[in-house]
Amino acid sequence: MLGRNQDRLTGLLTREGFIEFSRKFTGQDGQAVIWFNLDNFKMFNKRFGFTRGDEILKEIALILDGIFPRDENLLARFSDDNFVVLTNWISAEINIDTVQEYLYSLHEDVTLRLRAGIYFPSDDEDIRSAFDRAKLACDSIRKNHSVSSCMFHNGMSKELSLQQHILDNLDYAFKNELITVLYQPIVRLSTGKVCEAEALTRWNDPELGLISPAEFIPTLEQYREIHKLDIFAMKKVCHDYKTRNDNGLKLLPTSVNLSRLDFELCDIIQEIELAVTLNNIPREMLRIEITESINEEDMTVLNLGIEKLRTMGYQVWMDDFGSGYSSLNVLKDYNFDTIKFDMKFLRGFDVNKSKKAKYIISSNLEMARLMGMQALAEGVETEEQLRYLRSIGFDKVQGYYFGKPMKLDEIFALNIGVEEVHSS
């Protein structure tokens, strides 16, 4: 067990070693593959340094070694903080908790969560497909902090093939216009007219039909490809704007969604500037939406990015305010021009019953006003919601009540009309 089969840091097997040695395990009854991954290991490294990060990885290897003896089990570190164990199923179920408890007890000063995904392969199953599935189970609880292990089930397999399809076909989808941009009207209540639009992407796949952004965006974020989509959408919006401008048609300020990851994955501001300059778009015609789910770890980069965009003359909007846990902190730490209130505020809203929802919406609106930010309510579907939002002082609203995302030209054909913009 030398060379490429052995992990230098921990002494466990590498991925290659694991695949090779797993052959001698085939045919044994009742096997289980466990995929372990540490939460926020990247952040841990940033905070405490790589030396301490390496120590943790070595400790995990030792713990695994103690609990799953090497003469009966296969132990590997695949990459970074990904550990894989091939064991028998009885041992798997009993021992996962022990591994986790051990690690916690060694590091009570920091929160270290070691997630585990479990898969029971069939007799002649390829080991690669087995550990992919264990990993999928492990990934599936990344955001669910109430559990620390999870068994693979078939629904995950479908998810895996959709993810694979998205990643394999992304470039093809851009080139062949499978990915398009639609626009949803934003209405100013004081004029009753459309004042802006939000650009939203769609993937119309010949094999799978329409794939919703709710499905492909998390995959693109997970595999760090999201900036490609956002640059594509930005270019398309600028191009659509220029086409109308060249034809002497009415124009509409437009907001584009960015992922906070874009600020790490590329020079997103330069990309925006490129698209804007090439198409001769005044900066005040673009708004940048960023969702509130901002991690502590990317605070500095993102904060600098937001400030730079604002100084350059772009409005920056906070999207989905109220949908996560950290809304108020994000408001405290970043400067936004507009806050978009998440549609969850309005879900199931009943003017006579939802007293609490009303208090929450109106006091948050007041807070936005005090901080000098504009407010916009998303997800307005009914006349009743609209009347209430107007009564407490919202001026901008967006939702199916006025129109679903549509082609840009269709917005200008809406009978409520579009505000005039004065732009060069």
Among 19, 165, 174, 213, indicate the residue that binds ligand C2E (CB under 6 A).
213
Query: Which does residue 399 touch among ligand C2E, Mg ion, none (CB within 5 to 8 A, set by kind)?
Result: ligand C2E
Query: Minimum CB separation from ligand C2E for residue 255, in Å?
Result: 8
Q: Give the closest residue to 238 by CA, choosing from 203, 194, 195, 286.
A: 286
Of positions 132, 196, 289, 292, contacts Mg ion by CB under 5 A: 289
Residue 292 binds to Mg ion (criterion: CB under 5 A): no
Residue 244: CA atoms inside 13 Å, Cβ hemisphere, count?
19
- Please report whether residue 214 would count as binding ligand C2E according to CB under 6 A: yes
Give yes or no for residue 217 binding ligand C2E (CB under 6 A).
Answer: yes
- Minimum distance from residue 56 beta carbon to Mg ion (Å): 37
Tokens, residue 166: 């998205």
- Helix (H/G/I), strand (E/B), else coil: 408: helix
Structure tokens at 155: 């629904």
Q: Is 355 exposed, middle or buried (0-12, 13-18, 19+ CB in 10 A)?
A: exposed
Structural contact between residues 419 and 195, judged by C-beta atoms closer than 8 angstroms: yes
Distance in angstroms (rounded) separating the CA atoms of residues 136 and 153: 9
74-79: strand order across its sheet: 74-79, 82-88, 31-38, 114-119, 149-151
Does position 254 interact with Mg ion (CB under 5 A)? The reply is: no
Of 212, 277, 329, 363, which lies in the binding site for ligand C2E, with binding defined by CB under 6 A? 212
By CB under 6 A, tell whether 37 contacts ligand C2E: no
- Is residue 371 within 8 Å of 391, Cβ to Cβ? no
* Residue 379, contacted partner among ligand C2E, Mg ion, none, CB below 5-8 A by kind: ligand C2E
Stretch that binds ligand C2E, among 52-60, 69-77, 246-254, 396-404 (CB under 6 A): 396-404
Sole binder of ligand C2E in the list 320, 339, 349, 385 (CB under 6 A): 320
Nearest of 179, 173, 170, 117 to residue 144 by alpha carbon:
117
Q: Interface with Mg ion includes 81 (CB under 5 A)?
A: no
Interface residue with ligand C2E among 10, 91, 169, 259 (CB under 6 A) is 259
**With DSSP H G I counted as helix, E B as strand and the rest as coil, what are the percentages for the chain, rounded to 5?**
45, 20, 30
> By CB under 5 A, how many residues form the interface with Mg ion?
5
Report the residue from 100, 257, 364, 385 that binds Mg ion according to the rule CB under 5 A. Answer: 257
Q: Which stretch binds ligand C2E (CB under 6 A): 189-197, 226-234, 268-276, 331-339?
A: 226-234
Query: By C-alpha distance, which of 191, 229, 178, 202 is closest to 407?
Result: 202
Q: Does 184 bind Mg ion (CB under 5 A)?
A: no
- The rounded distance, in Å, linking the Cα atoms of 285 and 282 is 6
Contact residues: ligand C2E, CB under 6 A? 184, 200-201, 212-214, 217, 226, 229-230, 233, 257-259, 289, 291, 319-320, 343, 378-381, 398-400, 405
- Interacting residue ranges for Mg ion, rule: CB under 5 A: 257, 289, 319-320, 378
